[in-house]
Amino acid sequence: MTFHRVFQPIVELPLTSVVGHVVITRFTEGASSKLMLAQSAPVGVGSNVETTTTEAASPCRARCKVGLAQSGRVARVHPRGRASAHHSRRKPPTTVKLNGKVFLAASGPVASQPGNIPPLTPPTSFTPAAPLAAVIFLVTIGLVIARPWRLTEAYAALLGAVAMVLAGLVSPGSAVSDVAGHWNVLLFFVGLTGAAAVAERSGLFEALAGTSARLSGGNPRRLLVAVVATGAVVAALLSNDAAALVLTPVVYVLVARFGLAPLPYVLACTFVADAASIALPVSNPVNVIVSDRLGVSAAALVPVLLPAAVASVVALLGCIYVIYRRQLPARAPLLPPSDSWASWSAVPRRLLAAFGVAVGAFAVASALNLPLGPTMTAVWLLLLGVEWTCRRFNRPLEGIGWSLLVFVASMGVLVDGLSSAGITAWLAQVILGQVRDSPAAVMVVTAFASAAGSNLVNNLPAAFVFADAVQGAGLSAASAHAAAIGTIIGSDLGPNLTPVGSVATLLWFVLLRQRGLEVSTWSYIRVGLIVTPVTILAALSVALLLGVPR
């Protein structure tokens, strides 16, 4: 009694793109599994045969991304890699519906020769629509970065998403499902931007600016250190997006009153928001997404990522100081009297208490890995209610980043179009194919690959794509641990390269435009070209030292 593995391609309908494979164990004698198991049961080896044939397909299960099957017994792999099995009296269905999409089990196996070990990753092919998908995507990214005719990032991304649908790369139903699938992220930004608007109306930012001004003593260089240190703490404990939202308005008000050039300080706000966000699981939603998808404990990564975050922040401070040292005089041009700064007494005590509750609720929800979207929306509604009791309720929807919501939703549809064309699967195979057995190489490659991907599709969708690609590569435990660290470092620090890399950066641009400060894309990129590789290398140096087995 002998058996072997075969790979059967799974094709998405109606796009006819190969999205995965089913691993099947077949008996060389050509008999059905039901007959072979029935013949082996009377001699007491039936259970052993069934277990052995299933285990023969199991090593390839994660790499095939759809499932594994044994004739008469089907085990379907769920999106996060957990397998469930059920007996079937019939052959596996020719069509499968998964996550709202229809797939067809094609007739020809990829490999069916007994005794031959199939390739670790089944071959991935482009669809005929791949060139069109790539063109639409690259043109959209170009519009987002260049912003011709004052075209905003949101409208540029929306045009690209509509083009994907009109070209038939994404069906209208899939586009709607993709947008609905981002409900947690979208609710998160509604609540976060709404809560920040309440904070600004309450006078909280002015109070923080006054405290920072007093502590700086009018020294611009000391002020830069304070901005970076405060941003690191806020990003580590409350997420990178919260750091960008809270710090940018505070610093803008502060430097304006000191008569200082705002660019070095507001750039420090957005860069430190990402640089410090690798520290803890709650620092960035990407951290939880990656660790969960790879089956790695997020808490187990903290001893490596927290020191790496410290190294990254120190490297960032050094870069900003060197780049803008000529714009940081020994004393500020203007020195307002210390009693002229806003104090905490101007903020209603009930609102201060509500902000404390909001911070605690967000921290607890992040620590418990609860959905952050409903949490932040509830916090925003709570703050609105307290604001109303303080008789400061005015324009409750003012300040919400609606354009950011459109951008995130549209980018998801764009990535879906790339995936349907086979481009993302091909990229994953190319990136991980040669380094899978070296944890150190896996960490470095995934860090720089995810950093590059983050600047193409934004770090949230890129994190999903790379985490799924790594999970499907069948890595060893050590390599999977290293891949989690590398993907987090790349997805968190890499977005500092371009304005589209991180949602925190997009929030930063929105806030500055609302205050009349227009920062050009090139002004941002020319600093990011220095800051990004330096901070990634600093974090990787520490992570390789602490996170790779010797």
Residues 6 or more apart in contact with residue 345 via CB below 8 angstroms:
none
* 136 belongs to a structural domain: no
Nearest-angstrom CA–CA distance, 537 and 532: 9
* 131 belongs to a structural domain: no
Identify the H or E element spanning 381.
helix 372-389
Same domain, 67 and 205: no
> pLDDT > 90: what percent of the chain?
18
Higher pLDDT, 419 or 227: 227
Which of 174-188, 205-219, 305-319 is least confident? Answer: 205-219
Q: Which of 26, 7, 13 is nearest to 96 (CA)?
A: 13
Specify the pLDDT at position 142.
79
Specify the pLDDT at position 96.
46
Same domain, 89 and 153: no
Same domain, 408 and 470: yes
Mean per-residue pLDDT of the chain: 74
Cis peptide before 285 (omega within 30 of 0): no
Q: Residue 400 in 3-state DSSP?
A: coil
CA-CA-CA-CA torsion sign (224, 225, 228, 231): negative
* 125 belongs to a structural domain: no
Specify the pLDDT at position 304.
94
Would you call 134 exposed, middle or buried from its count of C-beta atoms within 10 A (0-12, 13-18, 19+)?
A: middle
Same domain, 13 and 152: no
* 120 belongs to a structural domain: no
Same domain, 151 and 98: no
The residue out of 84, 105, 126 marking a domain boundary is 105
- C-beta separation of 193 from 245 below 8 A: yes
Same domain, 327 and 415: yes
- Of the pLDDT bands very low, low, confident and very high (cuts 50, 70, 90), residue 71 is very low
Higher pLDDT, 38 or 11: 38
Backbone angles phi, psi at 24, to 5 degrees: -125, 135
Instruction: Note the pLDDT tens digit of each residue in 238-258.
Output: 678 777 777 787 788 788 888
Same domain, 360 and 233: yes
Task: Name the pairing type of β-strands 17-27 and 83-87.
Answer: unpaired
- C-beta separation of 69 from 92 below 8 A: yes
* 133 belongs to a structural domain: no
Q: Which of 399, 397, 405 is nearest to 154 (CA)?
A: 405
Same domain, 352 and 406: yes
Look-up of token digits 């409750």: 396
Residues 6 or more apart in contact with residue 463 via CB below 8 angstroms:
286, 289, 290, 450, 454, 487, 491
Q: Does 98 have pLDDT greater than 50? A: no
Q: Residue 26 in 3-state DSSP?
A: strand
Tell me how many domains the chain contains.
2
Specify the pLDDT at position 544.
95
* 160 belongs to a structural domain: yes
Q: Residue 10 in 3-state DSSP?
A: strand
Specify the pLDDT at position 9.
53
Same domain, 194 and 60: no
Nearest-angstrom CA–CA distance, 371 and 184: 6
Which of 2-16, 61-75, 400-414 is least confident? Answer: 61-75
* Average pLDDT estimate for 267-277: 92
* 65 belongs to a structural domain: yes
Instruction: Note the pLDDT tens digit of each residue in 122-167.
Output: 445 678 888 999 899 889 877 876 778 878 878 888 999 999 999 9
Same domain, 317 and 421: yes
Q: Which two tokens stand for residue 497?
A: 């390269």
Same domain, 97 and 204: no
* Average pLDDT estimate for 405-410: 83
Structural domain containing residue 90: 3-41+49-105
DSSP, res 103? E
* Average pLDDT estimate for 4-24: 51
- Of the pLDDT bands very low, low, confident and very high (cuts 50, 70, 90), residue 48 is low
